[in-house]
A and B are shown apart, each in its own frame.
Chain A
Amino acid sequence: MPGEASHLVAETATRILADFADPQTVNRDASGSWKAKLWEALDAAGLPLAWVPEALGGSGARSADGFAILGAAGRVALAAPLAETLAAGWLLTQGGIEAPATPMTVAPCRPRERVAIDAEGRLNGRAAGVPFAREAQHIAVLVHDGASEQIALVQSDQCRVSEGRNLAGDPLDTVLFERVKPLRIAVVLPGFTPDSLMLMGSAIRSVEIAGALETILALSVAYANERVAFERPIAKFQAVQQNLARLAGETAAAIAVAGSAADAIAGANQFDDDVFLEVVSAKIRTAEAAAEGAAIAHQVFGAIGFTQEHVLHRFTLRMLGWRDDFGNESYWANELGKRAACRGADQFWPWVASR
């Protein structure tokens, strides 16, 4: 459960994001000039490196604090690499590598992709769907070396980045590693697998989706109370009320399962079967909630919500895009189903009830 410290960190993040990344302002700013000021403020508050211990150059916040920052980022549908830098800092920490105070991202971001290391210690491989690669100065890379995993810190200008975009138009790039010499490289502790990074990324996206849904619910309810049709606020129509109650249900499910996954990670030493159940469930269920929730919210807003000018799309498209990062819900559902089947029917309920 979030304690006092998390409240403080969350409040700081919320305040900075309100000041420098207000969705309305950002939506009108085609130049992207808000980003530099935002980053300065986030950096000054130590938020991007919250998950990095002080000894490694970070602010040494608790796991829950980092997730509180991500919730706040989701609530403004943040289009800057804060989540990615948090993830990169976390990954570098697993290898004991000092984190640079720059915008960062992580690779790979898709479950089956691997970056290899050659005899000369250079990285080779391709990572698709890397968020904000072109805006990141450094990339934290999980390197697969036959049997073991290593973590490398790479300067992004050493890689070939081909630009792509997610549904919301945020950078979602492909990074080519061709004999890239890392700045630092370190072996990770045994038990850390490529899945560990995918699970952490999935937990991060789940918390952000839940945050986006919270704002979508608040915006939708406020609009329904204010918009008049047939001579009364549309909130007074039962059909609209029932839709918004469903949106509240989807939001509640996302908050609960993402919060539970974040809590599970905070309380665990490794990514075991129990953390797997929690995090994978969170990614699947928040992705489903994002799809349902986006459809309902757009239905409530009608045409105005389908305009560029209105902020609704910032939330709906971004959370729909986030579903695809670090393994989409179909990928994880297959993995979860296989694991449950392998454990067998008699071990199924004890597994669910252990959480």
Chain B
Amino acid sequence: MSTELRFDPIRLPPECAELRKQVRAFLTEHIAAGTFDPHQGGHGESYNRAFSKSVGAKGWIGMTWPKKYGGHERSQLERYVVTEEFRVANAPSNLHFVADRQSGPILLKYAPEHVKEDILPRICRGELCFAIGMSEPGAGSDLFAAKAKAAKVDEGWRVNGSKIWTTSAHVADYMLALFRTSPPTKENRRHGLTQFLVDMKTPGITVHPINQMTGLPGFNEVLFQDALIPDDHLLGEIDGAWKQATSELAYERSGPERFLDTFYVMLELIRAVGPEPDLRSAEGLGRLIAQLHTLRRMSVSVAGMLQAGKEPVVEGSIVKDLGTLWEQKLPARVRELAAFLDPEMTNRATLDEQLAIATTIAPKLTIQGGTTEILRGIIARGLGLR
């Protein structure tokens, strides 16, 4: 508990520049081949198995993991470059991204050796999509209210209950899920949840897609009816998942995906204002640039701390809090700044279309992966307020 915050000015090492060139060349090739449209931010086909396999073939999934599991033993900062370039290009990475960001690292830490040898190389090849089974109908931000139950039986664990709002479950090969294995104790209401690796093909699992307000699929309800999970798919400590959760937060919360989700409207604004913007447009744009640069430098700094083996939970939560609020507000700011521009300008239709998409997805940005309120609670705890 401390009010001392550290954000060292980490610079990307020289190998990152070469890597960035390769990533840009790769993305340019795929754009030229029609794999995806970089101007279709936020609503392009975001799951693409063939594309994810080609990303895996480049060695850009599981980049930081040990070679013996198919990884490439590269740095967090190199991974950072790949992540931000993919995000800015609107490349479809939903299929492999969650596995790369958080499921893989959890398996690396807690899965039995033979499970790691089986699954991690397939993630690295871009073959596996992961979902995260946390939220339930009665347990969202209040994760420790989860009720879906795993009961010990001779063959392993029998699971009953449901998960909801589960992103990617309709295409996922696996899920990392929290199930209740014991009731909470009086002293510790976080006690009693255990983390499992779940094969989505397991009999007894059904997935019902739930359309989002954008009109597109994304959410799912996942029902478990006597689904059997083998013993070796238990991850970490029985009843002790709460101890495993915190260190992952820094990974999940501080990356460039936490402020670049609506970036395409900013690029379109720069196109719209032209080379000689008026005072209002220039000042508004300048502020957005300063804010973006700041977020990026904070995020790179956290990546540097992760690379140094630290667990910057508070710093990571701050990046997500500021970053998601910024990317949420960005379409509103761009809309204001574009209000008095020439209505006949050449990219008006594109800008309007992108603003509509960004404005529609904006509300989810401060909810997914830890709400603003939860993040601020974590920051407050770090400051020693609770």
Contacts and interface: CB of A to CB of B under 8 A. Distances in A.
A349 B286 contact: no
A225 B384 CA distance: 8
Contacts of A335: 282, 286
Interface residues of A, number: 57
Interface stretch (A51-59, A79-87, A257-265): A257-265
Contacts of A241: 376-377, 380, 385-386
Given A225-B385, A284-B286, A349 B267 contact: yes
A249 B318 contact: yes
Given A242-B380, A281-B289, A281-B293, A334 B3 contact: no
Interface in A174-223: 214, 217-218, 221
Contacts of B271: 345
Interface string A9-41: 000000000000000000000000000000000
Contacts of A217: 3, 5, 383
Contacts of B78: none
Interface residues of B, number: 58
A134 interface: no
Contacts of A260: 9, 297
For the complex, would chain B's binding face be called helix, strand, loop or mixed by DSSP majority? helix
Interface in B253-300: 266-268, 270-271, 273-277, 279, 281-287, 289-298
A5 interface: no
The residue in B283, B380, B384, B385 that gathers the most chain A C-beta atoms within 10 A of its C-beta is B385
Interface string B313-324: 011001001100
Contact of A221 (B281, B377, B383): B383
B289 A218 contact: no
Contacts of B301: 256
The residue in A238, A241, A332 that gathers the most chain B C-beta atoms within 10 A of its C-beta is A241
A104 interface: no
Contacts of A227: none
Interface stretch (A140-148, A165-173, A308-316, A336-344): A336-344
A248 B290 contact: no
Interface of A: 1, 214, 217-218, 221, 224-225, 235-236, 238, 240-242, 244-246, 248-249, 251-253, 255-257, 259-260, 262-264, 267, 277-278, 280-282, 284-285, 288, 329-330, 332-338, 340-342, 344-345, 348-349, 352-353, 355
